Amino acid sequence: MNKENTCCFTGHRQLPKDKMQQILNKSEAEIIAQIKKGKTSFITGGAVGFDMLCAEIIIQLKKQYPINLIIAVPCQNQEKSFSPTDKIRYTKVLSMADEVVYVSQKYFSGCMYKRNRYMVDNSSCLISYCSKMSGGSYYTKSYAYDNGIEIIEIS
């Protein structure tokens, strides 16, 4: 994976239902714009919400573009607290990924942050849906900013 050709994602697990189509459309348009700028690999964390949405967009766009989906999983059994529906989506997305990277084998209190740093450290661009000034997405966006990574906001 070439950092310059790679883009990652961060966003909330709960997305506002009344903005879902808008978030989907803007995310897809931005991903296509990044593909046209030469991005060929996309890393998502595999969490419910924005991560899963972006992974599914990449899977659809793979039918038109020569791109790769990489899932950076924070630890084994990430999906254990997912709803039954989200477990099915997660399993499908993992099976369609070009690469699955387990950043940690076991859960520990900082494994999500370790996963987020891995994604940023291996990317030159971050697409973000972050409406709060706290939490994992805000941390990831701040980490990307501190490391000079291009940040694209989806609002």
Domain count, the chain: 1
In the predicted structure, residue 134 carries a pLDDT above the cut 80: no
d(CA 12, CA 14): 5
pTM here? 0.94
pLDDT for residue 133: 81
* CA 15 distance to own-chain centroid: 14
Q: Indicate which CATH number applies to the domain containing 80.
A: 3.40.50.450
pLDDT at 147: 96
User: Picking from 3-7, 59-63, 77-81, which range would have the lowest pLDDT averaged per residue?
Assistant: 77-81
pLDDT score recorded for residue 92: 96
What's the domain range around 104?
3-153
Q: How many CB atoms lie within 10 A of CB 18?
A: 7
Cα–Cα distance for residue pair 41/12, rounded to 1 Å: 21
Residue range 16-33: average pLDDT? 93
Q: pLDDT exceeding 70 applies to what percent of the chain?
A: 100
User: What DSSP state is assigned to residue 89?
Assistant: H
Residue 74 has pLDDT above 90, yes or no: yes
Model confidence at 12: pLDDT above 90:
no
Cα angle 30-130-61, degrees, rounded to a multiple of 5: 30
Looking at residue 46, its pLDDT comes to: 92
